[in-house]
Amino acid sequence: MKKLFLGVLTALALAAGGTFAGTLDDVKARGNLLCGVSTGAPGFATVDDSGKDVGFDVDYCRALAAAIFGDPMAVKFVGLTSAVRFTALAAGEVDILARNTTWTYSRDTDLKQTFLGVNYYDGQGFMVKKELGVKSTTELDGATVCIQVGTTTELNLADYFKENGMSYEPVPTADNAESQQQYLAGACDTYTTDASALHGTRVNLENPDDHLVLPEIISKEPLGPLVRHGDDNWADIGRWVLNALVIAEEKGITKGNIDSWKDTKDAEIHRLLGTGDDDILAMVGLPKNAMYNAIKAGGNYGEIFENNLGATSGINIERGVNASWTKGGILYSPPFR
Amino acid sequence: MMTKIAFVRKKEIPPSAPPITEVGLIGWLRQNLFSSWLNSILTVLSVYFIVVILWDFIPWAYGGHWNTKSLRECLDLDPDVACFSVLTARWKQLLFGLYPAEEYWRPTLTFMFLLLAIVPILFPRFFRFFWFSIIYPGLAVWLLWGGSFWSISIVYIGLTLGALFFLSLIRRYLKNYMVAAILAFLFTAVFFLFISNPLVGLLNVILPISLPFVESLKMGGFTLSLIVGVTGIVASFPIGILLALGRQSNLPVIKMICVGFIEFIRGVPLITLLFVASVLLNYFLPPGTNFDIVLRVVIMVTLFSAAYMAEVIRGGLAGLPLGQHEASASLGLTYWQSQRLIIMPQALKISIPGIVNTFIGLFKDTTLVSIISLRDPVGLASTIRADQKWNGIYWELYVAIGLMFFIFCWGMSQYSQYLERKLKTDK
């Protein structure tokens, strides 16, 4: 019965998806991009004091809107909780989901979505009080751990402690804010969630120096934007806007100096910025200067990172694996050719 | 012979003062707080807990920072007191959500009109202003969402024309209410299907009155709580009455529909219905259909609360002696007359505590919409915490949100007590 119900749902979703053949055309006709972001994830998406949408995922969508319309403001942000994000995408409430979502096999296949790449390599970490004297996660045997229930982090935690032959006592919480309160109140020795969130939380504790984010990352959480199955051209557009931002950083193209590359000998830069002769962006239905506009919107990947997650943002996350491959990280875009 | 009487009191003895332990502060304390050993222990314990909580809370709240730029700044100044600066920075968002700042006057005005519109309903002596309560819903929708004034007014125009048509029919030509009602319904349907759109277009050209359109995505904060809560309360009450009557009806079809509806809704948690509204409906509607999310939520909340309301009112109906029904029937009153004049006034009076209970519950349940991504105050709290400036703020936001909800719920409860006192006929 359940199978039948799901089957009917899928059939309806597919029928619905069928009419979405040209997401780009729909978006152009509507005049703005509908971008699903988190209702609140530090550094990734929130609204600032003046009500403006800000964040790492927000800036990616602004770049995408700039690529399509030449206007980074031609985007409507739809805040989505984790409970409704995938259905909102599948049902066409948003054109693209950039909601610090981990790319996993089942989400890619079973949920019929296309991940466009990785815009942030996250991983699960632990925070402890320095007075505990713990320097590594391997010393956490027997610890009480504050853990958000119903998340992948809960499963990772169980796996990790089992693999290392350690025991722990979980203290279940509903969200990061509650984990933090429990941890500060002494209900648990350590609390675990994505390392990006741990850094953001630590900076705003009463005495950040009394707390330590342990160096080990126990899981892979590659976060990235995703779209529905069934519109490869739309997926290509999203993927290559992301790649363009990465290439721009690799080549040293920034928001500030983007206009000074007209005389460069680097043919890839000309292709990217649309300053050369060949217009390869016509292949996906974008204007020749689409990537120029995308980079101009919020800067290259590195600038977006700095503004939302790095030193400028106050969260102070280091680039680490999220640095370009030329600087020891694993960010690597296929060539723009 | 006269008995010799040594002394006869001419005046009454002035009453001596009652013992000091029975009057004044001490008497009050003895009677109310220390009347028995158990009460004394409870009093001492309560006072102890109140003092302990206030001992921490008052310095924390009283010394709170209001003007810092971020939580970090608060902590650097004095980490042991509240950081209310987040409210200074975000109070507008908590009240209006992401509503455009230059349009804040619209939800404000809507709220003030709401206070005016409920006065005639709450206090009978202002009943002559009831017309305002009738036009208020349309006015509120227009003010909040904006767009053309005429596309809202046309609803009123259409319904008024339909009603006039109905009245003139039964006055002049027809004595059969049923046929007149069907004809009036057809008339109204024709009006809305074929006449209203061109008429709105025409009116827009002749006299364009419109406000900038604000989409539901921007609604949030207490504005959203009030939209969902007030609409739910107002709409669920009549639906609840009809369902309660339907459940007691002698017509099996009506009875079955009402029982089925009530039992289904009561058997499903509200959050499930909200998920249906937010997620599942989209699969069944044709793509591109823009079925407003706030409207979807309001409908679900209304249906949910109507089912509970129906049961509360059924309780009131069950509390009436059967003699009341029989008496009204023997007077020759029709079903609706007896409901209107005899049954409902008494049944509703008995149900007041339960009705207000349901209202308050509904109003607080509006915070559940944060789970389906709407930015009500609780949803906004997590959005605000996601701003690195305020990451880690917890109690200040929830204290403020709790206080706002308390004011509304306490107000409702006070009104219900006033109403009970006023309607009390038996001593």
- Model confidence at B20, in pLDDT bands (50, 70, 90)? confident
Least confident residue range of A200-204, B170-174, B357-361, B420-424: B170-174
CB distance A303 to A55 below 8 Å: no
- Model confidence at A87, in pLDDT bands (50, 70, 90)? confident
Report the alpha-carbon distance of residue A72 to residue A64 in Å, rounded.
8
pLDDT at B1: 56
A2-121+222-327, superfamily in CATH?
A: Periplasmic binding protein-like II (3.40.190.10)
| Chain A residues with CB-CB distance to B72 below 8 A | 203-204, 314
Tokens of residue A109, six digits: 């296949």
| Chain A residues with CB-CB distance to B371 below 8 A | 81, 83
Tell me: pLDDT of B28 over 90: no
Query: Chain A contact for B282, CB < 8 A?
Result: yes
- Structural domain includes residue B20: no
Of A45, A47, A80, the CB nearest to B98: A47
- Structural domain includes residue B253: yes
Of A9, A79, A88, the CB nearest to B375: A79
Mean pLDDT, rounded, for B40-49: 94
Direct distance between the N- and C-terminal alpha carbons of chain B, in angstroms, rounded to an integer:
56
Instruction: Give A19→chain B minimum CA distance, Å.
Output: 8
- Structural domain includes residue B119: no
For the domain made up of A124-219, the CATH class stated in words is: alpha beta
Output the average pLDDT for chain A. Answer: 89
Percentage of chain A beyond pLDDT 70 is 94
Domain ranges of chain A: 2-121+222-327, 124-219
Number of domains in chain B: 1
Per the rule left: phi > 0, alpha: psi between -120 and 50, beta: everything else, B24 is left
CA angle A280, A284, A286 (to 5 degrees): 80
Q: How many interchain CB pairs under 8 A, A with B?
A: 120
- Structural domain includes residue B178: no
Return the SS3 of A77. strand
Q: Which residues of B4-36 are buried (b: 16+ CB within 10 A; e: fewer)?
A: eeeeeeeeeeeeeeeeeeeeeeeeeeeeeeeee
Report the alpha-carbon distance of residue B77 to residue B64 in Å, rounded.
10
pLDDT at B174: 67
Length of chain B: 427
Q: Which residues of A123-136 are buried (b: 16+ CB within 10 A; e: fewer)?
A: bbbbbbbeeeebee
Q: Do domains A2-121+222-327 and A124-219 have the same CATH topology?
A: yes
What is the reported pTM? 0.86
pLDDT at A294: 96
Least confident residue range of A121-125, A209-213, A225-229, B31-35: B31-35
Direct distance between the N- and C-terminal alpha carbons of chain A, in angstroms, rounded to an integer:
50
pLDDT at A5: 47
| Chain B residues with CB-CB distance to A12 below 8 A | 283-284
- Model confidence at B351, in pLDDT bands (50, 70, 90)? very high
Determine the residue of chain A that is closest to B288 in CA distance. Answer: A92
- Structural domain includes residue B403: yes
Tell me: pLDDT of A312 over 60: yes
Tokens of residue B166, six digits: 């109905």
pLDDT at A19: 46
Report the alpha-carbon distance of residue B343 to residue B329 in Å, rounded.
11
Report the alpha-carbon distance of residue A215 to residue A218 in Å, rounded.
10
Domain span including residue B422: 67-99+216-427
Domain at B356, CATH number:
1.10.3720.10
Tell me: pLDDT of B142 over 70: yes
Report the alpha-carbon distance of residue A308 to residue B301 in Å, rounded.
38
- Structural domain includes residue B43: no
Alpha carbon of B162 to those of A207, B165, B184, B186, B198: distances in Å?
69, 5, 6, 9, 18
Output the average pLDDT for chain B. Answer: 90
- Structural domain includes residue B347: yes
Q: B195-233: per-residue pLDDT in tens?
A: 888 888 888 888 888 899 999 889 999 999 999 999 999
Q: A25-84: per-residue pLDDT in tens?
A: 999 999 999 999 998 888 999 999 999 999 999 999 999 999 999 999 999 999 998 888
Query: Chain B contact for A201, CB < 8 A?
Result: yes
For residue B240, give the nearest of B319, B297, B156, B301 by alpha carbon: B301
Q: How many CB atoms lie within 10 A of CB A69?
A: 19
Report the alpha-carbon distance of residue B330 to residue B230 in Å, rounded.
39
- Model confidence at B399, in pLDDT bands (50, 70, 90)? very high
Tell me: pLDDT of A14 over 70: no
Of B379, B383, B388, the CB nearest to A314: B388
Please, what is the angle between helix A56-69 and helix A23-30, to 10°?
90
- Model confidence at B86, in pLDDT bands (50, 70, 90)? very high
